[in-house]
Amino acid sequence: MSPGAFLFDSVGKRVETHLEIAKTRYQAGKVAFENGQYREAVEQLEKASALLVRNSRLGGEVQIWLATAYEAAGRNEDAIALCEQLKRHPDPETNKESRRLQYIFQAPKLQRPKEWMTEIPDLGTLQDTETKIRLSAKTSKSSVTPEQTSPKFDDLTQINTRDNRFIWVALIAIGFTIAALVWYSF
């Protein structure tokens, strides 16, 4: 049976093939991975991989994504082991990508300085502090006076508005320069 062929049951209703189910799970796994849901991605990609021939091009592609999802989910040993298997894959692109990923996964983890890190607050206590935040927001809004919100203008009597003599000197110098250029051009 060709990959694009469909199966029909006795009533004539289309039945999904293993390939279609695998492609659907593969797409769901990629979407979950891209949304940061790594456990869900691993689950979907494992199911897709189980439905495919592992030595096929699509099977290798799914397994590459699975190795990446393993690494993102914190299962580094599983990711490295899968890359080790994929180094013997018959598809040259899968073979090459598995070697590249294994090199990355086995690279030593560098320590980052604390200045580079941003702490993310625990949102589990949000409901307890939510009322405190609302109360503090209301009090801070009411503590703003109209004087603080109005723009401040400078007193124009305090600003030096006399003509600057430098401008006249510069204009005269420019005039002499132009006159000299005109004189020497004839």
CATH number for the domain spanning 46: value is 1.25.40.10
CB 47 within 8 A of CB 65: no
- Whole-angstrom CA distances from 185 to 174, 178, 180, 181 are 17, 11, 8, 6
pLDDT for 44 equals: 94
6 vs 19: CA distance, rounded Å: 10
pLDDT for 4 equals: 47
Asked if residue 47 belongs to a domain, the reply is yes
Residue 24 sits at the vertex; the CA angle it makes with 21 and 27, to the nearest 5 degrees, is 150
Its pTM stands at 0.54
The strand ranges marked E within the chain are 7-8, 14-15
pLDDT for 5 equals: 47
Written as one string, the DSSP assignment of 111-130 is: PPPGGG--PPPPGGGHHHHH
pLDDT for 131 equals: 58
pLDDT for 15 equals: 47
pLDDT for 96 equals: 93
pLDDT for 121 equals: 75
Asked if residue 126 belongs to a domain, the reply is no
Asked if residue 32 belongs to a domain, the reply is yes
Asked if residue 115 belongs to a domain, the reply is no
Place of tokens 């790594």: 38
Pull the structure tokens for residue 31.
């979407």
pLDDT for 115 equals: 84
Asked if residue 151 belongs to a domain, the reply is no
pLDDT for 151 equals: 65
Burial category of 89 from C-beta neighbours within 10 Å (exposed 0-12, middle 13-18, buried 19 and up): buried
Asked if residue 45 belongs to a domain, the reply is yes
Task: Please give the residue range of the domain that contains residue 67.
Answer: 15-105
The sign one gets for the Cα dihedral 163, 166, 167, 173 is positive
Asked if residue 149 belongs to a domain, the reply is no
Block means of pLDDT (10 residues each) for the chain, 186 residues, are: 47 65 92 93 93 89 95 92 92 92 88 82 64 58 54 69 76 94 88
Q: How many domains does the chain have?
A: 1
152 vs 154: CA distance, rounded Å: 7
